[in-house]
């Protein structure tokens, strides 16, 4: 009897304790205690888990590394191949853009016949602005033929071999071209400079020249066909004591990026040298 | 053999000069690979073909450049003459001689180019030429002088091995 009673009391006490603990837990009063009790457990669990994974990695590593290295090499090769392909396509795209612009230019100027050529070298002398193109007399190129791009005048053929030609750029210090200012129809002389700039000279004092005026070939002298765009006037120097005005010109062609040019093959330059009077002539 | 090897080597350098080096200017000056190689070759102790290399180099440049053969040849001949004269005086410090020659060679060749162009009717202002072309070119040449001297030294040692007395 006593034993039964004492067991019942123990059960009730245990039930009360459990209910009390549950109530305390639900009320949040056991959180600090549980945190203190669980933290070491969690840390221990983390430590065991980390070691387990490390051991697992070590055991499975040789096979994975070999496979991953192989895969990595394959992917690197693929990336290299694709990068090379991208560069090649970009080059082709650039050339296509240039060529399509040149074709449009040729269509817009149907009176001229053109021979496209690639710029393959520059003159080794830093004092000269010449380029070498990969078309020569075998392709119908002759000395004196004008060279242009879709933007404007580049220069003229100065020397020709069977498979290549040397082109004197309009920026060369020895280049002199007869030009006309678009707005005022004034004739002037355009000459290159060592610095790669070009200047206009022999502009009459009474001519009205403004920045932004277009500079075109005049055709005088027979060296170039008329009306090929060269550039724009950027600055004028006019002094009362000078006979002529001078001006600086910004070229429309970017000579540092010259890749493909067009040679006008149906233009025959006229040599007016014998007509120029010399001091020894009567 | 040393003369024969000059043709492919200087030919290759001419191509490199016109396609790459001429497109990398400092202001408006560019390095002159052929001049440097000719000078470095002339400075090597046992080399006996300095004049051959000088003429072949001038020929190679003339094939491409708009400068007349005589002007290029005269510049290279003077530079080679200076190199051979310095080789006898500064034989113990060849690198110093190379630096000195690079500077003098650049000045001499550019001066002759300028005079030649003036005679042909192209007048280039002297100060512009000096400031924008010659001094930057000299700097670029000086930067390339040591590696080219070392490479040409190796080539000369291979072509003319040192004789050992037994």
CATH number at residue B94: 1.10.1760
Full domain range(s) for residue B110: 2-159
Contacts of A122 in chain B (CB under 8 A): 18-19, 22-23
pLDDT of residue A67: 82
Q: Which sequence spans correspond to the domains of chain A?
A: 7-58, 176-252
Tell me what the mean pLDDT of segment B10-16 comes to: 92
Give the separation between CA A263 and CA A148, rounded to whole angstroms: 6
pLDDT band per the 50, 70, 90 thresholds, residue B140: very high
pLDDT score of A52 more than 90: no
- Which CATH architecture does the domain made up of A176-252 adopt? Beta Barrel (2.40)
Tell me whether residue B164 is in a domain.
no
Contacts of B107 in chain A (CB under 8 A): none
State the smallest CA–CA distance between residue A149 and chain B in angstroms: 20
pLDDT of residue A56: 78
Mutual orientation of helices B50-64 and B69-89 as an angle, nearest 10°?
Answer: 150
pLDDT of residue A1: 57
Beta-carbon-side half-sphere exposure of residue B41 (alpha carbons within 13 Å):
27
**Residues B17-43 as b or e (16 or more Cβ within 10 Å = b):** bbeebbeebbebbbbbbbbbbbbbbbb
Mean pLDDT of chain B: 90
Mutual orientation of helices B135-159 and B94-119 as an angle, nearest 10°?
Answer: 130
pLDDT of residue B89: 78
pLDDT tens-digit map of A195-214 = 888 999 888 888 888 888 89
Verify whether the Cβ–Cβ distance B113 to A127 is below 8 Å. Answer: yes
Tell me whether residue B166 is in a domain.
no
A140 and chain B in contact, CB less than 8 A: no
How many other β-carbons are positioned within 10 Å of the β-carbon of residue B75?
A: 26
DSSP character at residue B46? T
pLDDT tens-digit map of A109-157 = 777 888 999 999 999 999 999 999 999 999 999 999 999 998 899 999 9
Do the Cβ atoms of B46 and B86 come closer than 8 Å? no
pLDDT score of A259 more than 90: no
Maximum mean pLDDT: which of A3-12, A53-62, A80-89, A93-102: A80-89
Instruction: Pick from A123, A127, A191 the residue to mutate for testing the B interface (most B CBs within 10 Å).
Output: A127
Tell me whether residue B40 is in a domain.
yes
pLDDT score of A93 more than 80: yes
- Count how many domains chain B has: 1
Does B39 or B87 have the greater pLDDT score?
A: B39
Instruction: Pick from A122, A130, A166 the residue to mutate for testing the B interface (most B CBs within 10 Å).
Output: A122
Contacts of A162 in chain B (CB under 8 A): none
pLDDT score of A268 more than 90: no
Tell me whether residue B84 is in a domain.
yes
Lowest mean pLDDT among A49-58, A115-124, A170-179: A49-58
Contacts of A126 in chain B (CB under 8 A): 22, 25, 28-30, 133, 137
pLDDT of residue B136: 95
The shortest CB-CB distance from A194 to any of B14, B121, B124 is to B124
pLDDT of residue A279: 61
Tell me whether residue B165 is in a domain.
no
pLDDT tens-digit map of A220-246 = 888 898 888 999 999 888 888 888 888
Tell me whether residue B60 is in a domain.
yes
CB interface of B with A, residues 74-113, below 8 Å: 110, 113
Verify whether the Cβ–Cβ distance B64 to A132 is below 8 Å. Answer: yes
């Amino acid at each position: 009897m006593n034993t039964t009673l004492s067991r019942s009391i123990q059960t009730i006490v245990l039930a009360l304790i459990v209910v009390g603990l549950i109530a305390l837990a639900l009320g949040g009063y056991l959180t600090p205690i549980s945190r203190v009790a669980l933290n070491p457990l969690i840390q221990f669990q983390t430590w065991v888990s980390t070691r387990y994974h490390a051991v697992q990695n070590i055991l499975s590593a040789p096979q994975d590394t070999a496979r991953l290295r192989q895969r990595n090499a394959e992917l690197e090769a693929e990336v290299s191949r694709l990068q090379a392909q991208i560069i090649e396509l970009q080059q082709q795209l650039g050339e296509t853009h240039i060529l399509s612009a040149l074709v449009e230019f040729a269509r817009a100027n149907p009176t001229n016949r053109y021979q496209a050529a690639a710029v393959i070298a520059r003159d080794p002398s830093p004092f000269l602005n010449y380029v070498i193109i990969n078309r020569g007399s075998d392709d119908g190129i002759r000395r004196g033929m004008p060279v242009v791009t879709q933007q404007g005048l580049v220069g003229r053929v100065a020397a020709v071999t069977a498979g290549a030609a040397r082109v004197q750029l309009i920026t060369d210090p020895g280049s002199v071209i007869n030009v006309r200012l678009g707005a005022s129809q004034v004739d002037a002389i355009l000459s290159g400079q060592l610095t790669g700039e070009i200047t206009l000279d022999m502009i009459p004092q009474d001519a009205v020249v403004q920045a932004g005026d277009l500079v075109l070939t005049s055709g005088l002298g027979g060296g170039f066909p008329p009306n090929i765009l060269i550039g724009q006037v950027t600055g004028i120097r006019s002094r009362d004591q000078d006979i002529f005005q001078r001006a600086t010109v910004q070229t429309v062609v970017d000579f540092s990026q010259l890749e493909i040019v067009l040679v006008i093959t149906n233009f025959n330059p006229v040599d007016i040298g014998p007509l120029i009077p010399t001091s020894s002539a009567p | 053999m040393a003369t024969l090897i000059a043709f492919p080597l200087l030919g290759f350098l001419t191509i490199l000069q016109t396609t790459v080096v001429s497109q990398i200017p400092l202001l408006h000056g560019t390095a002159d690979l052929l001049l440097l190689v000719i000078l470095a070759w002339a400075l090597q102790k046992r080399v006996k073909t300095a004049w051959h290399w000088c003429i072949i180099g001038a020929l190679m440049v003339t094939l491409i450049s708009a400068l007349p053969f005589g002007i290029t040849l005269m510049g290279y001949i003077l530079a080679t003459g200076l190199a051979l004269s310095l080789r006898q005086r500064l034989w113990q410090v060849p690198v110093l001689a190379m630096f000195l020659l690079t500077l003098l060679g650049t000045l001499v060749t550019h001066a002759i180019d300028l005079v030649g162009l003036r005679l042909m009717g192209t007048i280039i202002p002297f100060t512009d030429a000096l400031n924008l072309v010659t001094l930057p070119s000299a700097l670029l040449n000086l930067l390339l002088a040591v590696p080219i001297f070392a490479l040409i030294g190796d080539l000369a040692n291979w072509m003319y091995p040192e004789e050992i007395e037994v």
